[in-house]
Amino acid sequence: MTAVPAITPCGAANRYTINPMAERYSLMIHGGAGELDRVRNGLKVRPYLNALRRILVRGKSILKEGGTALDAVETCVAMLEDDPLFNAGRGSVLNAAGKVEMDAAIMDGRNLGAGAVAAVSGIANPVKLARRVLACSEHVLLAGAGALAFASEQGIVTVADDDLVTEFRRKQHEKACKAGHVTLVQDPPVPEHRHGTVGAVARDSEGNLAAATSTGGLVNKRRGRVGDSPIIGAGVYADNHSCAISATGYGEEIMRAVLAKHIASLVEFRNLDIYAAARDGMTYFANRVQGRGGVIAIDRQGRCASGFTTKTMIHGWLELGGRIAVTIRRQAGNTSL
Amino acid sequence: MTAVPAITPCGAANRYTINPMAERYSLMIHGGAGELDRVRNGLKVRPYLNALRRILVRGKSILKEGGTALDAVETCVAMLEDDPLFNAGRGSVLNAAGKVEMDAAIMDGRNLGAGAVAAVSGIANPVKLARRVLACSEHVLLAGAGALAFASEQGIVTVADDDLVTEFRRKQHEKACKAGHVTLVQDPPVPEHRHGTVGAVARDSEGNLAAATSTGGLVNKRRGRVGDSPIIGAGVYADNHSCAISATGYGEEIMRAVLAKHIASLVEFRNLDIYAAARDGMTYFANRVQGRGGVIAIDRQGRCASGFTTKTMIHGWLELGGRIAVTIRRQAGNTSL
């Protein structure tokens, strides 16, 4: 754990007066916080950054065409789930039983509408199932077999674990079991696979905010373990009155800190701007629960910020209709490619 | 839903200067918020109030003897679970599949330590299982079969559904199924059974805060539905730096509002006292998500407050070592017995 959290205004919005005529949509996505410390080789990280860029291009087209923040975050997170590089959907890590169990959530900042699923198996896109919970059920969170029964009613076809599990994840799980590890940073010798949880936050041109988060959780986690990703206020939060947040890292620490709502409350009750709120939120997270993780955040004005207490965090953004940027940001410095 | 929330300083602490030599422990418990509107008959409500008093006497003895807030809330909630009058543990409502599925959580305000279980069956005291998750696992929240596997490892014996289900709950479920209801207020013709979720908050004489919440959830809820009770920051929260909260009501609305953390943030970031924080929290809950429910809260100084947007809430307390009080409080007036 790094004691001093990195807080990064992501774009130029804090340096100029926002033009009210400009395109006001913003989008951020992340592929997890971890310890990509020794990676200096552009070839190793490039597939991750290329994936983020490709997904941001798609998300940008949705927002540019007047699509909603909710649609943009769902689409981006589903694409991150589909990419086996990331620990969500296809490419999820295995739990102690050698199975995939995934968590996901989506939140609509207009009315605090939320949908989430926890400990689900055999679902290719948990974020899409979470969206159905939001749209088509009277509940917010469905877990395990009950969530799968709901998926079946909604006509969502389940897939075999083999369709979600990559060869790398099987080997990683075997090693973790031998070592008795429950781990976020995953397998040290293969730095390019250390990143985990994925998420997206967006502000659309109507000024509405949304957030979504999805994960396969921790390697070798206990069966039935639910992390922060499907917990409203912990791993995901969106409120048009403050900001949209997606978190990543050790879920237990994020849940205890109620991290996303904590940062939103700093914006709402302390009138902090999103950079100061992310900074103070990360300081609180590090000091109060020795938290390891990070957040991406977009505020009502569409300003983008990120913060993390881990050594690195992989994320990308486009601010106020501007150019797309992707980076594996480090605590000291920046390896933006 | 009642638009104007009731906010009630529960004792006399706001009317006199606290004597630093006095016993500084405080305890509150609740048996749910609902619509006990037409109950004027002392005989009908007396069993509830007697149960609360009996449980507060036991909790008080723990705190008076120097026990921890964490032990006090666990014991009180376990006793509420054991009492078939309340919708938690024995006496839990049935879900759409005609089964009992319970949620519970416990939180330690010293270090934000938390343990929770969701959608568990056949556990007599879910709050005790949540305490084991806090004490003996590296996780915060375990759901469904995984939680039961953990219970088994911990030597917690499961019980048959028949040991938890009362005849009243079976009939209530049959009626709800026929009517197609998913309901908090439960069965209108039987007002004495309308109250739901249970919870406790405490401040011990060391100044430490703790909170616990437990529930059988909503009548006829979907299988796998998880409510606010096991969600840190929604149905339960405790932080020595602000306050301890247990919420009750429609879980979906409480989760979307992240209600417990919202109130704690009002204390921490706006420097509101616990009465003003409970009041503003209830106003927010009513206005932002049309929330139906209530909270009990104890702050760092041991002051007790409650607030609710439903017609009534059944709760009891003892403030700063003072006398025990129990009440079914109404929006306008008070039916304290």
Q: If you average pLDDT over residues B88-94, what whole number do you get?
A: 90
Cβ contacts of A226 on chain B, cutoff 8 Å = 118, 141-143
Confidence of residue A295 (pLDDT cuts 50, 70, 90): very high
CA distances from A206 to A63, A203, A243, B9, B234 (A): 10, 8, 14, 42, 29
Give the burial class of A53: count Cβ atoms within 10 A of its Cβ; 0-12 exposed, 13-18 middle, 19 or more buried.
Answer: middle
CA A219/CA A222 separation, integer angstroms: 9
Confidence of residue A5 (pLDDT cuts 50, 70, 90): low
Task: Give residue A183's pLDDT.
Answer: 57
Please check the confidence at residue B171 and state whether its pLDDT lies above 90.
Answer: no
Task: Give residue B17's pLDDT.
Answer: 47
Task: Give residue B96's pLDDT.
Answer: 86
Selected catalytic residue, list A8, A75, A183, A197: A197
Please check the confidence at residue B15 and state whether its pLDDT lies above 70.
Answer: no
Nearest-CA distance from A334 to chain B in Å? 32
Percentage of residues in chain B having pLDDT higher than 90: 69
Confidence of residue B56 (pLDDT cuts 50, 70, 90): very high
Q: Could A222 and B150 be called an inter-chain contact, meaning their C-beta atoms sit closer than 8 Å?
A: yes
Confidence of residue A280 (pLDDT cuts 50, 70, 90): very high
The mean-pLDDT minimum among A52-66, A190-204, B69-83 falls in A190-204
Of residues A196 and B280, which shows the higher confidence score? B280
Q: Which domains does chain A have, with CATH numbers?
A: 6-11+20-331 (3.60.20.30)
Please check the confidence at residue A179 and state whether its pLDDT lies above 80.
Answer: no
In 3D space, the residue among B207, B275, B196 whose CA is nearest the CA of residue B229 turns out to be B196
Of residues B303 and A163, which shows the higher confidence score? B303
Q: If you average pLDDT over residues B190-209, what whole number do you get?
A: 80
Q: Is B166 a catalytic residue?
A: no
Closest partner residue to A288 among B112, B256, B288, by Cβ?
B112
Task: Give residue B181's pLDDT.
Answer: 62
Cβ contacts of B119 on chain A, cutoff 8 Å = 143-144, 146
pTM as predicted = 0.91
Q: Could B149 and A262 be called an inter-chain contact, meaning their C-beta atoms sit closer than 8 Å?
A: no
Task: Give residue A306's pLDDT.
Answer: 96
Q: Could A145 and B224 be called an inter-chain contact, meaning their C-beta atoms sit closer than 8 Å?
A: yes
The pLDDT tens digits for A33-58 are: 876 544 444 557 889 999 999 999 99
Residues B52/B314, Cβ–Cβ less than 8 Å: yes
Task: Give residue A36's pLDDT.
Answer: 52
The pLDDT tens digits for A320-330 are: 999 999 998 88
Q: Could A224 and B150 be called an inter-chain contact, meaning their C-beta atoms sit closer than 8 Å?
A: yes
Confidence of residue A316 (pLDDT cuts 50, 70, 90): very high
Q: Could A258 and B255 be called an inter-chain contact, meaning their C-beta atoms sit closer than 8 Å?
A: no
Task: Give residue B244's pLDDT.
Answer: 98
Task: Give residue B12's pLDDT.
Answer: 46
Cβ contacts of B155 within 8 Å, gap of 6 or more: none
Q: Mean pLDDT over all residues of chain B? A: 87
Please check the confidence at residue A188 and state whether its pLDDT lies above 50.
Answer: no
Nearest-CA distance from A325 to chain B in Å? 32
Please check the confidence at residue A18 and state whether its pLDDT lies above 70.
Answer: no
Cβ contacts of B141 on chain A, cutoff 8 Å = 225-227, 231, 255
Q: How many CB atoms lie under 10 A from the CB of residue A186?
A: 26
Phi, psi of B176 (to 5 degrees): -65, -40
Do the strands A304-308 and A6-9 form a parallel or antiparallel pair, or are they unpaired?
antiparallel
Closest partner residue to A224 among B143, B252, B257, by Cβ?
B143
Confidence of residue B35 (pLDDT cuts 50, 70, 90): low
For tokens 């008080």, the residue is B60
Q: Could B256 and A114 be called an inter-chain contact, meaning their C-beta atoms sit closer than 8 Å?
A: yes
CA A242/CA A229 separation, integer angstroms: 20
Closest partner residue to B258 among A232, A269, A288, by Cβ?
A232
- Kindly state the greatest CA–CA separation across chain B: 58
Please check the confidence at residue A187 and state whether its pLDDT lies above 60.
Answer: no
Please check the confidence at residue A337 and state whether its pLDDT lies above 50.
Answer: no
